[in-house]
Amino acid sequence: MNQEQVAVKTPEFVSLNFKLAGLGSRAGAMIIDQLLLTSFNIVTILLLVFVIQADFTAFLTGSALPLAITILLIFIVYWGYFFVCEYFFGGQTLGKKLLGIRVIQDNGHSITLLSSLIRNLLRIIDMLPTAYFVGIVMVFFHSRHKRLGDIVAGTIVVHERQRKNIRKSGSVDKAIEARGLSKESLSVDDWALRSFGMKEWKLLKTYSDRVMQLEQAERIQLSRNLSTALLPKIGLEPNDMTDQEIEDTLLVLYLILKDEWAFEL
């Protein structure tokens, strides 16, 4: 099936356009992840064989406890790998990162803890009867290329293409440079950063494109409005900050999110 575009409109009326990842790219990412996990499984089994000082045949036919522990460990690592990577690394496993795709919510937000949990628990069904047959069929025929886990969790998988030439000479970039601002000017912990997704990036991108072109009064009002929505997410109270501090903080936050979200979809 051809890759399709999907448009999402956020409650803030920001329109987000995404290019859906189809069966080919998703299968390619899965193959990479499976190779990584298979390598881990082989190493795990060999280590356990070494620890109990038995040959491979004895390991399989001997006491059931080592074999049961191995199976449990492999299951936990297999499921945990997808769950942890997709939630803590912006919807990307190693395979997805190499193929340039990621998992996001249907509304354009970053994948949530619950969605990641549901999506990956349902891999058990998508894998049936073997080799992800159910998942492959659903991705191929679904209008948004969703497997069962995506449908229940409310997620989609989209393509990203890194921009080769991000504009450096715009007025906002000159202002950032002139003020001596950098990503290190603002300390944001990883947990707080997880609360920012594509919606927040689009708002900051639109803000950065416009703010330097506005009159002073309009700049202050726009900065105040945006800061009320974004700065409490990182533990800052806009009412305790000057207008200049708010504008500088928003620009630094723009720099931080640009590393994660400055890609074309």
Segment holding 54, helix H or strand E: none
Give residue 99's pLDDT.
92
Residue tagged 């998703």 (tokens): 26
- Give the bridge partners for 156, in sequence order: 104
Question: Do the bridges between strand 101-105 and strand 155-159 make them parallel or antiparallel, or are there none, so unpaired?
Answer: antiparallel
- Residues with Cβ within 8 Å of 87's Cβ and at least 6 positions away in sequence, in order, are 111, 112, 113, 116
Total number of residues shown for the chain = 265
Q: Please report the beta strands in the chain, taking only residues with DSSP state E, as ranges in sequence order.
A: 5-9, 15-19, 101-105, 155-159, 161-162, 263-264
Residue tagged 């990307």 (tokens): 92
Question: pLDDT of 70-87, one tens digit each?
Answer: 788 888 888 899 999 999
Residue tagged 């193959």 (tokens): 31
Question: pLDDT of 204-240, one tens digit each?
Answer: 888 888 888 888 898 899 999 999 999 998 989 999 9
Preceding omega of 129 cis (within 30 degrees of 0): yes
pLDDT band at 2 (very low <50, low <70, confident <90, very high): very low
Q: What is the C-alpha radius of gyration for the chain, rounded to an integer number of angstroms?
A: 23
Question: pLDDT of 31-52, one tens digit each?
Answer: 999 999 999 888 887 877 776 6
Give residue 169's pLDDT.
44
Question: Do the bridges between strand 155-159 and strand 161-162 make them parallel or antiparallel, or are there none, so unpaired?
Answer: unpaired
